[in-house]
Amino acid sequence: MSVAGTAFDLDHADSVALLDRQTEMLERIAAGAALSEILTGIATSLEELVPGSRCSVLLLDAVFGTLHHGAAPSLPTAYSACIDGMSIGDNAGSCGTAAYLERPVVAEDITTDPRWEAYRELATPHGLRSCWSSPILSRTGVLGTFAVYHDRTHRPTPREERLVERLTHLASVAIDHSGLYGALSESEERFRRAFEDSATGMALTTTDGVTTRVNRALRELFDLSDEELIGRPLDELLTRVADTGPVGDGTSYEARAWRPDGAELELAVAVSEVRGADGEAVYLSVNVLDLTQRRAAQRERLARHEAEVARSAAEAASRAKSDFVSALGHELRTPLQAITGFTELLGTLNLPAERAVAAREHIAGAAQHILSLVDDVLDVARIEEGALPLSVVDVGTDAAVGEVLDLLSPLAHGRSVELARGGPPLAVLADERRLRQVLINLVGNGVRYNRPGGRVDVTCAEAGDSVTVTVADTGRGIHADRLSRLFVPFDRLEADDEADPGVGLGLPLARGLVGAMDGTLEVTSEIGVGTTVVVTLPRSPGD
């Protein structure tokens, strides 16, 4: 930042003096000193290095475009008060103009400089004759201004420009640090209040489940003190009703506990991870809801409303499952049904050798697909990061579609849905396993959300340098206001009115996989008519 536009190196004495002051200011920043103290120290440093100067730092309110007092150790208090809250603009003195233009502004003579017309009468009574202001910049824009005043006409020397450049950068560091530190302190205070004042029992634990902090509601719920709760593994405090596996992000389960007086508590527990800056889990946040009275009331109504209570209990148990387990459970059904169907054929019918071999091959293929589903959730993250490994080769659409239809035929038969294919044999550039994964998802959805006697058509067609694979079903269709949510991971659109709502992961993953193969996936739907998904992929050059 040079007013004259020329490079200048400070002499040894200046460099040593400046380094000492910078070191002192950085130590104060690290120690958490107030921003006003830091800025005052920076302004004083320049005044000591440039005798006769009087410095000020103004902070920019970016929302309102106004400058406010930051530090002015030697300026008249009355003058600082008058300019506090001034608006920035192209004729707003040296500071307002510098902040507006984002470059240094030098007024060698305040009494004649046109940019000082509105502020001249504020400055001259205090003996201020010249003002040089530099914007304090960060990566996000202007933070404020650093101004140097003299009681005579003056233009900054290269030495002064270099000193101001270094100190302005130091001011930028201080202001940025103060903003981050203040935001962190405010966030911690909000968390502390929300945590301690919550009506729900809450605990923070290590990633291994050892409690490190508990709130008032949890202490009252268990009738135990901090000393009796902190440091104990979560599994010592809670006995899970059913084994749901390791406690981790998104885990929800029901548990029992006993107070010191022997009273039994029935609880609903939800666990989520709190991640650090590197994305790794640093501790677990555990919410504990007391269901004891609610469950007692349910038991009282059991004799009169047994069926209703049983349904409610089943819904509560279903809601208690983790989203992750539900997602994998849904995705595993299709290949498991194929395995079950072909196993029944082998066990109940005396099949010819060729058909028996084919059935075993279908079973093996479905089992292999089950193993591949373990990677689906990770695939979403890999796609978003652009790190999904692919093996792109020439893939025949006829074989790929045929394999998928064979795999899903038991599911379609069980739901009285007809599967059909059309179009010429074509070849696309794709990852064979990923293409099959996409088609299984699309055709599987077409079967699941169809009607008895319905139909799913898979049609391949040429489209210039591309090939389209269209999957059209005759199901109920999707409301227009829900189409935009189809590709939001884990947003299960039909969760309220579908017996088999799916995981909300299939279509987002399918679109991501197609995109990773340089293709597109588009969905259209009409209520009462059905849903159509069009996958477009690059055509094989040899086709």
Three-class secondary structure of residue 392 per DSSP: strand
Quick one: 229 and 141 in the same domain?
Answer: no
- Considering the chain, what is the average pLDDT of its residues? 83
**391 shares a domain with 279:** no
CATH number, domain of 20, equals 3.30.450.40
**Domain annotation covers residue 192:** no
Does the predicted TM-score (pTM) go above 0.75?
no
Residues linked to residue 536 through DSSP beta bridges, in sequence order: 468, 520
Residue 283 lies in a domain: yes
In the chain, the amino acid numbered 288 is: V
Instruction: Kindly state whether residues 469 and 354 are assigned to the same domain.
Output: yes
Q: Which residues of 362-380 are buried (b: 16+ CB within 10 A; e: fewer)?
A: bbebbeebbeebeebbebb
Contact assessment for residue 285 and residue 204, using Cβ atoms and an 8 Å cutoff: yes
Q: Do both 294 and 382 map to the same domain?
A: no
Domain presence at residue 191: no
| 104 falls within a domain | yes
**pLDDT for 212-238, tens place per residue?**
999 888 898 899 998 999 999 988 888
Given 140, 155, 184, the domain boundary residue is 184
Structural domain count of the chain = 3
- In this structure, the answer to whether residues 54 and 143 fall within a common structural domain is yes
Asked which of 290, 316, 342 is the last residue of a domain, the reply is: 316
| Cβ-contact 501, 488 below 8 angstroms | no
Q: State how far the Cα of 166 lies from the Cα of 163, in Å rounded to an integer.
A: 5
Is 543 within a domain? no
Whether 391 and 526 share a structural domain = yes
Do 137 and 204 belong to one domain? Answer: no
**By three-state DSSP, how is residue 147 classified?**
strand
pLDDT the model gives residue 535: 96
Expressed as residue numbers, the domain containing 491 is: 326-538
Q: Do 367 and 309 have their domain in common?
A: no
Residue partners of 171: CB distance under 8 A and separation at least 6: 39, 42, 57, 136, 143, 144, 146
345 vs 26, residue with greater confidence:
26
CATH of the domain at 488: 3.30.565.10
- 280 and 174 belong to one structural domain: no
pLDDT tens for residues 123-167? 999 999 999 999 999 888 999 999 999 999 999 999 999 999 999
- Regarding whether 355 and 216 lie in a shared domain, the answer is no
* Residue that is last in its domain, among 257, 284, 316: 316
